Amino acid sequence: MAYDYTKRTDLKGDVDKQKQAHKVLKEITFKPALPQRGYNDRTLYVNLTDLTIEERPVTQQMKDKFIGGRGFGLWFLWNATQASTRWNDPENELIIAPGPLAGNTQYPGSGKSLVVTLSPMTDIPIDCNVGGYFGPLMKFCGFDALEIQGKAARDVILVIDGPKGRIAIEEAPLENVDSHVAAEVFTHQYADDEKDLPNVSVVSAGRAADHTRIGCLNFSWYDLRRKATRLKQAGRGGTGTVFRDKKLKALVVHGFPVKGDQNNPADLERIARIGVKMHKELHDFDDSQCHMRRQGTAHLVEIMDAYDLLPVHNFQYGNHPDTPRINSQVWDKRFTQGIPDGCWYGCSMACSKGADEHQVMTGPYRGHSNTVDGPEYETAAGVGANCGIFDPDWLLECNFYCDVYGIDTISFGTLCAFCMECWQRGILNAERTGGLEIKFGSGPAQLELMHQMAEGRGFGLIAGQGVARMKKIFAEKGWGEAQLLNDIGMEVKGLEFSQYMSKESLAQQGGYSLTNKGPQHDEAWLIFMDMVNKQIPTFEDKAEALFYFPIFRTWFGLNGLCKLPWNDIEPADNARTPEPAKVPEHVQNYCELFAGITGREIDRHELLRMSRGVYNFQRVFNLRQGKGQRAHDRPPYRAVGPVTVEEYTSRAERYDKQLKEILGVDPAGKSVEEKMALTREHREAQYEKLMDAVYKRRGWTPNGVPTLETLKEVGMDFPELVAVVEQHL
């Protein structure tokens, strides 16, 4: 059929003709099945080099030790690779795994897939938690995970078709690789008819993933009300870059119509009961709490600005007078309201907002009218405030092209802000950028940088390597001093920071830098507890928070759950509980959900034990790959304190007060440089003490290596892990 994609892409194309050009390279039949108590006990392995497609069993040990999702992904990756493996070696794998709880439609936030691979940014495992229908639909075809290894010779797609009992690797030469088009085209190619469209989900990366290390993956779902595909991103660490390096154009799953009991849960009534309780809570309180249903996470923009936490001009400052131009009121109007925007069935938090009818201003889709998926807070803060761009139209434009081209908005925002500061400080100029005037506040320059990345040309090729590599390149070329570049380049382990200011929160400096994958806020977000509430004043308190929260939050990724319904909504009597920050009632819900689906009763201690094993496993994995030690856990100074005179002066009252009250130094008569040096010495020493305290609490050596006792305690004392650790003791 000739299909008119005007809703989503303004492109017209003949999907059938494109499909006819496919060449089947390998095809197998399989018997679709539904999981029992959340597990299929079967995974799918695909090798794109030798065209192997095979089913593999899930062992009881895998379920006990790694649970599912991110745990399965890490375990497969560990076994498939070696210490010397890099992201673009054929043996690197890309794993997509929902977890045992994924796909239930009773509890909000239950449709996540976890993507795991060796990252082109960090050379260690990256894990991303992503919505969209792919993982659950694949699970209900009969697979707990998809493992993709090898590299194809030409662009291919992998098709998992449950109703037809068919898995195939097909060459697909004609389809557009850009995600908004690819998702539409492949969805229509593999759905049987109009009614069947929601049963297809597509994973794709756009053309920029071919030329940058920050390529992301887009996971689609079919939005019945908009009659268009929508996209959610596995954003961090270059998953899309690995995908395109394997010459994957798309993964397509064609599943069965979704029903509420497809996990064959142990106790459907029990999960329905806690689901109803959560839906009521969201219904009753979201409008007076976080407005997730109207504004998504974009509601945070003005809140972060109010607390001096919104990154502005490459994390130099924490607020800006123009923030109201991109705050939640603006997005409330831009987002189409009245449409429940859940990225999986049954998610009544429904925060995956869409801005419809964005008129594209630049690039190959100029003049088209499109739905933009977002912006979420991270995007508004990163490509907006952090780059000094406070124009909602440019922000939507950037969000649109990031998704279309397959670019991580968080890394892009941070690296673009870094380039802009380099311009401000004369490290970059028109000669060095090939004429691109990459200045703070310039939406057109930001978009030009993005188009260059997409087309693999000009300065975009350098910027697309990420902040860590740019720092090195700029220093080697003698464009700037290495010390300054290292201070202002916001990356740890090779991954760019996400969009929160951590200067005034020592705990959050650890929340970012003492992470497994790099500075992403999904392990621990402690700024309020630490900086505002002052609930964790001592090193031991901070270490306890940096023990508990990363471990607890790992559990979402093991099970295929979304973190947002845990603490972006609060039960009525949460305030009366002894530890409201942990939202104990919701933690109890998760224990019940796990028991209700898998039949295995757990309590909050067991929940932590499950995560702690995988968390330590990932640390040892990092160690095997050459990272995972103290030297890799230090933040750039910009994340810790004021690097420049302007930064110090802008908050001089705060810093002077700290000198007096904390260090007992009278700032009067001292130059700003002297005061900055004292502040730096103090703050860096504090961070070293924090590392000591956190490592101790986590059961690691002062060098950040899990001890043998810890491995034993968490059930990860496999000989091969012990062997890695022993090299570092």
Partner 1 sequence: MITVNGDPLEHEEGLTVQGILEAKNYKFPLLIAFVNGKLVKREDYRTTVVPDGAVVQITHLMGGG
- Exactly one of 183, 467, 562, 583 binds partner 1 (CB under 8 A); that residue is 583
Measured CA angle at 539 (ends 538, 541), to 5 deg:
65
Instruction: Assess 421 for contact with partner 1 (CB under 8 A).
Output: no
Instruction: Assess 343 for contact with ligand SF4 (CB under 6 A).
Output: yes
Q: Can you tell me the distance from the alpha carbon of 717 to that of 707, in angstroms, rounded to the nearest whole number?
A: 10
Nearest approach in angstroms of CB 52 to ligand SF4 is 33
Token output for 151: 């590299």
Complex with partner 1: residue 186 or 315, whichever CB lies closer: 315
Instruction: Assess 251 for contact with partner 1 (CB under 8 A).
Output: no
Instruction: Assess 562 for contact with ligand SF4 (CB under 6 A).
Output: yes
Q: How many CB atoms lie within 10 A of CB 572?
A: 10
Nearest approach in angstroms of CB 309 to partner 1 is 10
In angstroms, what CA-CA distances link 521 with 366, 402, 635?
34, 20, 14
- Exactly one of 350, 514, 558, 623 binds ligand SF4 (CB under 6 A); that residue is 350
* Site of tokens 């594209």: 360
x/- binding map, residues 104-143, to ligand SF4, per CB under 6 A?
A: ----xx-x-------------------x------------
Q: Can you tell me the distance from the alpha carbon of 457 to that of 212, in angstroms, rounded to the nearest whole number?
A: 11
SS (H, E, C) 680-711: HHHHHHHHHHHHHHHHHHHCECCCCCECHHHH
Instruction: Assess 306 for contact with partner 1 (CB under 8 A).
Output: yes
Quick one: what does residue 1 bind among partner 1, ligand SF4, none, with the CB cut-off 5 to 8 Å set by partner type?
none
- Please name which of 597, 219, 206 lies closest in space to residue 406, comparing C-alpha atoms: 206
Q: Which of residues 521-550 bind partner 1 (CB under 8 A)?
A: 521-522, 524-529, 532-535
Q: Beta 42-47 vs 125-130: how paired, if at all?
A: unpaired
Nearest approach in angstroms of CB 32 to ligand SF4 is 25
Quick one: what does residue 352 bind among partner 1, ligand SF4, none, with the CB cut-off 5 to 8 Å set by partner type?
ligand SF4
Phi, psi torsion values for 172, nearest 5 degrees: -135, 85
Q: How many residues bind partner 1 (CB under 8 A)?
A: 33
Nearest approach in angstroms of CB 310 to partner 1 is 11
Token output for 615: 């968390």
Q: How many residues bind ligand SF4 (CB under 6 A)?
A: 15
Residues linked to residue 27 through DSSP beta bridges, in sequence order: 168
Instruction: Assess 231 for contact with ligand SF4 (CB under 6 A).
Output: no
- Exactly one of 344, 459, 500, 590 binds ligand SF4 (CB under 6 A); that residue is 344
Q: Can you tell me the distance from the alpha carbon of 235 to that of 410, in angstroms, rounded to the nearest whole number?
A: 8
Q: Can you tell me the distance from the alpha carbon of 76 to that of 560, in angstroms, rounded to the nearest whole number?
A: 17
SS (H, E, C) 105-166: CCCCCCCCEEEEEECCCCCCEEEEEECCCHHHHHHCCCCCCEEEECCCCCCEEEEEECCCCE
Complex with partner 1: residue 199 or 515, whichever CB lies closer: 515
- Exactly one of 574, 588, 629, 644 binds partner 1 (CB under 8 A); that residue is 574
Instruction: Assess 304 for contact with ligand SF4 (CB under 6 A).
Output: no
Complex with partner 1: residue 479 or 528, whichever CB lies closer: 528
Complex with partner 1: residue 21 or 532, whichever CB lies closer: 532
Token output for 508: 């959050």
Nearest approach in angstroms of CB 306 to partner 1 is 4
Q: Can you tell me the distance from the alpha carbon of 352 to that of 132, in angstroms, rounded to the nearest whole number?
A: 10
Quick one: what does residue 636 bind among ligand SF4, partner 1, none, with the CB cut-off 5 to 8 Å set by partner type?
none
Tally of residues, the chain: 729
Quick one: what does residue 416 bind among partner 1, ligand SF4, none, with the CB cut-off 5 to 8 Å set by partner type?
none
Q: Residue 183 in contact with residue 226, Cβ under 8 Å?
A: no
Query: Residue 214 carries which side chain, given as an amino acid letter?
Result: I
Complex with ligand SF4: residue 109 or 704, whichever CB lies closer: 109
Q: Can you tell me the distance from the alpha carbon of 395 to that of 374, in angstroms, rounded to the nearest whole number?
A: 10
DSSP-H helix ranges across 375-529: 377-379, 392-405, 409-424, 430-433, 443-455, 459-463, 467-476, 482-488, 506-513, 527
Instruction: Assess 274 for contact with partner 1 (CB under 8 A).
Output: no
Phi, psi torsion values for 600, nearest 5 degrees: -105, 115
Q: Beta 12-14 vs 94-97: how paired, if at all?
A: unpaired
Instruction: Assess 300 for contact with partner 1 (CB under 8 A).
Output: yes
- Exactly one of 142, 560, 565, 667 binds ligand SF4 (CB under 6 A); that residue is 565
Residues linked to residue 589 through DSSP beta bridges, in sequence order: none
Complex with ligand SF4: residue 102 or 387, whichever CB lies closer: 102
Nearest approach in angstroms of CB 224 to ligand SF4 is 15
Q: Beta 354-359 vs 217-223: how paired, if at all?
A: unpaired
The stretch among 128-136, 162-170, 289-297, 608-616 that binds partner 1 (CB under 8 A) is 289-297
In angstroms, what CA-CA distances link 115 with 69, 160, 176, 389?
8, 17, 23, 31
Token output for 164: 């037809």
Complex with ligand SF4: residue 263 or 314, whichever CB lies closer: 263
- Exactly one of 342, 464, 489, 642 binds ligand SF4 (CB under 6 A); that residue is 342
Nearest approach in angstroms of CB 100 to partner 1 is 25
- Binding-site ranges for ligand SF4 (CB under 6 A): 108-109, 111, 131, 342-344, 347, 349-352, 562, 564-565
- Binding-site ranges for partner 1 (CB under 8 A): 288-290, 297, 300, 302-304, 306-307, 377, 500, 521-522, 524-529, 532-535, 567-568, 570, 574-576, 580-581, 583
